[in-house]
Structure 1
Amino acid sequence: MKKKIVLAVLFILPVVVYLFFASGVNNFGRLPILSENVSDVTAFDSSVKLKGKITILGFLGHNISAKQGNAFNLNQKIYKRFGEFNDFQMVMVVPEGSQNQVEALKDELGKLSDIDKWHFAYGTDDEIKTLFQTLQSNVTLDADLFTPNVFIIDKDLMLRGRTDDEDEGIKYGFDTSSVAELNNKMVDDVKIILAEYRLALKKNNADRSK
């Protein structure tokens, strides 16, 4: 009997250890904080607010029409999956004067899903650059004020991401031009941060009921 138990442990334990590490440390616990004190878009557009929301923040640049593919990937892989969660939103920062392009993009996105939680914040070039700098990331905006990367911002205006990504080490943003990256990495990280807040809410409710 003891021999069978020993053999079972020797067989099962390596499998359990493998599954743990194969799942990735990032799937356990909190999603790491990479930057604090990210500026709120209310600094230049009072119609949109980051604080108090779990936000997917993006920068579409001046040529929004050419970036519809990025928005569609984000909509299909992230927004349609998580858009019904309370306090979740998409915020795309765009230059002033691009209202017509935004309306055209919203029309196209609206054919794919309900876009109530897609928001667009308008700012000057300098305001957009200043906001982007507060992310303190290793990502850069191009001359058009565009990046394919989007960022997870928590309710307290902190940038969340990965500190042990297998490809980049520290991972600040997620490339919307890569469906594989959205599927294999961003989906997991959004799940984690939503789970964090759900657990915190349950704890607060339990504490109040004591």
Structure 2
Amino acid sequence: MCEDDDVPQLSEATMLALQEFCQEREAKKLLVQEAINETGNLSNNIIFEENWQLSQFWYDDATIDVLSREACRLAGEDGRIALISCPSLYPSVKKRAAQAKVLLLEFDRRFEAHGDDFCFYDYNTPLELPEDWAGSCDVVVADPPFLSAECLAKTARTIRFLARGSVVLCTGAVMADLAERLLGVKKCDFEPRHRNNLANDFFCFTNYGCFLTS
């Protein structure tokens, strides 16, 4: 008996599916690179897949619509919007906020494709940001990547550094008390949803009260 006989073999159908997946992933990488090369920016039609190793969970379309409309309403026509660790909001906010400045603070460097709107962000170094950004944002929308007191506390330092107005925080229900102590935010009626359902209860908190969802 050959030793190879003990090695599990993939079926032909599985091999074809795996090959197709790899081809689609490479094609998407090429599209992103072409967008960067040609325009220095990312087409809103290119959708990145979640990276669960980075604790990424994209909002569903209805949630993206509500949060992006609210961010743009708060910022006004030519305001300044910061999105912290919520990259799935960026295309919708950018589309709606034609005159506003949108800043995406994100650890995942794939989003460098958004050009000058992207800023590499590691919550472990919450104040490694341009000094002229201090107190510059009319609205900050944040979704800390991990449900831990440390992550929320450090993200809150970034929020306080940036914000001069409204704060919208999306995080787990277990963070409610700490969020209120750190940022003065309270739970509102709107509950964010994700494309892939999360096991944890997930809420939206603001420092200005509830907002319209229709």
State the TM-score, normalized to the length of structure 1.
Answer: 0.29
**Looking at both structures, which has the greater relative contact order when contacts are Cα pairs under 8 Å and sequence separation is at least 6?**
1
